[in-house]
Structure 1
């Protein structure tokens, strides 16, 4: 069996380029192998003017300015000769011993025969993450500079790309996937934007909460994350690592709207509280969800409340029960008053030692419980998929998740007349503006609240 060995410049349009061997041998993927200088174990780079593309070999420099690279050019010619010779020996050895000529076998044998140590060959098909990491490393050490002016990247730009890389890593991790450039299409894009728009509790491989990812606004996603993703995809295309041009498609744009979310009003929470004939897991789901709704805590916090988090405060002769707990995200210790009778009854039911349920089970069960509680009003909202904005109609029970509890609690306290300053001391939001973006008061609840306050003022 003969293999047709070809040698190409990686960057034929630049002043300098490394060289790689290319073998197209079916049924395997094309084999790509970079020419490495054994003594330094780095890819050999020569002036592109000193390469004969037709005959696929270096040529002696004719111009004076290239003569200083004579040693590199001669080394390149020498290694090409060694590769061709060794490929013949590898094929003969494989044939005599019944060895399959896989890409892995070819690479291993060439490394051994050329005395190349370690994993220094470039990945033929790098994942989005691995390629992005290398580019950021290049920005940091100055080996990858701005294409237009040759200047190093500013620290702010590097930090922006590092943030985007971390989000991509978490997206892959929670979806148990590895994203390659060929995977990026309108479906992948919609899933990734949805991930960025929503608050995410990120768990490690052992199921322990790692950290909480803030929901990002549409403008931030567009001006930072999508912009940087387009940049890295263009670089990959230009360097021959990818052939994807999806970033030029109409759908690859800044999202037009923020994530749609609901809050349950007090009446809806009471319907859930009154739901009967539940199995044990559903009962725990119901109770823990309501604990979240009556404390304004995140799942990571309300699911880990312990007996020692309950305190009593005596003020002006009045005994006030509170929950004091360090939050996982901010490490603050909000003091949350136990205001609702329903919350007191749930705590007493478990003797202040709440059971545990994982977030996946809670998110699945609470939708079923809410459906049985007739929380079925149809919500209409717009969602952009593949660059096309659609009108979505969805029953409220399908829009409920563990985070709806916290949002509902904060919204209902505002509707009851508590100030934003008071509520954010419980929720931990850094500013009133942040909390206002979080509150979800629908038109009907707003009208009822206004009417009650108006009538209350009339009675004075």
Structure 2
């Protein structure tokens, strides 16, 4: 195994030097730019003999060049000697870090200085406070309400999404919104702005909710009075008719033989675990055998600390979840959320789950009824809805379902119970009033 250097364009006067990383044992042959330029004629002459190479290296004008080149060679050889998976991306990344080390260090120093200044300087306007709020979330200075848990990357991303939309709103309306401008008039106009951009009602509701969260944080620092926000900024969610998998379909999916499609099989297995545990995708993807505990009732449970809320839940260990974990030596295969969303639709289609489902949808101010295939509505969140709905159909109380899913309120949980009218009626028939009657068979 070795690292060598060469010039591709020998006809040029000045050319970029390239590195070649080879290892027959590991079947590696990668060519990458060193990002360093050389005088072609001088370089080619230096390669004619050991003495010329030595003289070329000892030239004081080449000192910085060879310091970087030597470090590139040493670093790449160390990577080859290690168990690291050597890729083009990794090689290019390491070279960039070496060649631009001074610039990277300067940028890091500048960013740290800005961050320190941001921490020391209390924001005095709403836009500044939004930036400060997000920065404190990113650094861990600001924790989840009433706890010591850091705010999740997903939540921080949603805060940045609000910041972007709020900035766009101000640019469109040609005005700057400060604390005193957060009135009911602003609320109505901001919702109109988002509606005109054809965002869904739930996206608009999420933006309003984030705005309220940031305002409450500002109020705690006595930067504003959030009375208008508290009593006038209604967060209006619209119930979305999402589908769920029945117990029968979960079993059908579990038994579906995809051994000839390894990528699909991994996604199928992770999805089944999600349907049988009722967690968010960020949680059910990381379930592993180390989380299994036995409680005083003698049964096995999955003890899981939810990433978003920090809550600890105990999920009864379904035999199918145990079998899937055993299949992968105790740890689920790593799959990306988008791959799950893409392939679970294809798997559903292959299983024949193609019946048409009618959905009430809204984009901007336009409401309409959409017709889609059942399989095309499957996504990572379907799992969470499936467990909640199946537990409810089986007669579980809302509090019992919440103990598993970790929902903070019954109202929030109810949005996950996806029953059609016939299913609701069959559940109602089990209530004490109807059990006293003789229902016709």
What TM-score do you get using the length of structure 1 for normalisation? 0.46
Larger Rg: 1
Higher helix share: 2
What TM-score do you get using the length of structure 2 for normalisation? 0.48
